[in-house]
Amino acid sequence: MGRILEKIYFLLYNHFGSQHWWPGDGEVEIIVGAVLTQNTSWRNVERAIANLKDAGLVDIEAINKVSENEFANLIKPSGFYRIKAQRLKELARYIVESGGISNLKSKSVEELRRELKSVKGIGDETADSIILYALEKPIFVVDSYTRRILSRLGLLEGQDMSYSEVQELFMKNLKHDVKMFNEFHALFVKLAKTYCTKNAPLCVQCPLRLLCSFSSKRILSG
DNA sequence: CTCCAGGGGGCCA
DNA sequence: TGGCCCCATGGA
């Protein structure tokens, strides 16, 4: 399995190149974006973040102080704005009470994962995105695209794998390298958006087309 | 008009 | 656990 995952990474990186993730700059913007993008197109997230920038609210202390209602109105374009405002307020409080982002960086991946997930509204993917992209610690981020692509390659055949099981597939078979984990997840997103939309099979220009020999007809049948 | 987007929680069996 | 519903805006 390790060989196949390395091959996938090699093919994707050589085809698409570095993805320079996370889009947007700064730790706070990454953290905020990680929550805002929950089941939401990045386009809409960008509008919400632009509003927050104008209001000087891409700042943990500021988010912790602003009223939930005011914050909610600013992030409306991202959808689910009331629940997301609540989630980001709780996340900001957790970070402030932890002594800020710099203090979070001194915690272990396991500790961060446990604490972040204990914040209401921060699940597996959001926690891991924050740990990898904002705090730059080695953890593999799994999302719906990851499952869809692996499934179409026939690598999840039959079994209904949980988030942690899919994650372990990568963590146990690859070197724990922040840069590589960063690019790998971003490349999956790039691949999915380019060649693997929800109701379409991988097309013939897909950089992973040569992996057909490893899998079944699922790629052809979509 | 319908479908969907870089999820997550609550509820219920 | 696993399925289902809810959260909501904007693009295709």
CATH classification code of A1-222: 1.10.340.30
Distance in angstroms: CA A217, C1' C3 = 28
Tell me the torsion sign for CA atoms A65, A70, A74, A79: positive
Measured between its terminal Cα atoms, the distance across chain A in Å is 22
- Give the C-alpha separation, A120 to A42, whole Å: 22
| Residue whose token pair is 């942690």 | A164
Footprint of strand B on the protein (CB under 7 A): A 21-23, 33-34, 37-42, 44, 79-80, 83, 117, 120-127, 129, 133, 143-145, 189, 193, 197-199
Query: What amino acid is encoded at A33 in this protein?
Result: G
Six-digit token string for A137:
């610690």
Of A176, A133, A131, A153, the closest CA to residue A12 belongs to A153
Distance CA A87, CA A196 (A): 31
Q: Name the nucleotide with the smallest C1'–CA separation from A78.
A: C9
Question: What distance in Å separates the CA atoms of residue A103 and residue A4, rounded to the nearest whole number?
Answer: 37
Q: Which nucleotides of B are covered by protein (CB under 7 A)?
A: 4-10
Tell me if A52 sits within 8 A of A32, measured CB to CB. Answer: yes
DSSP A202: P
Type of residue numbered A64: N
Q: How far apart are CA A34 and CA A172, in angstroms?
A: 25
Q: In a structure prediction context, what are the per-residue pLDDT tens digits for chain A, which is 222 residues long?
A: 889 999 999 999 999 999 999 998 899 999 999 999 999 999 999 999 999 999 999 999 999 999 999 999 999 999 999 999 999 999 999 999 999 999 999 999 999 999 999 999 999 999 999 999 999 999 999 999 999 999 888 888 766 899 999 999 999 999 999 999 999 999 999 999 998 776 676 677 889 988 854 444 344 333
The CA–C1' separation of A6 and C10, in angstroms, is 37
Q: How far is CA A158 from the centre of its chain?
A: 25
Q: Which nucleotide is nearest to A23 (CA to C1')?
A: B6
Q: What is the pTM of this model?
A: 0.94
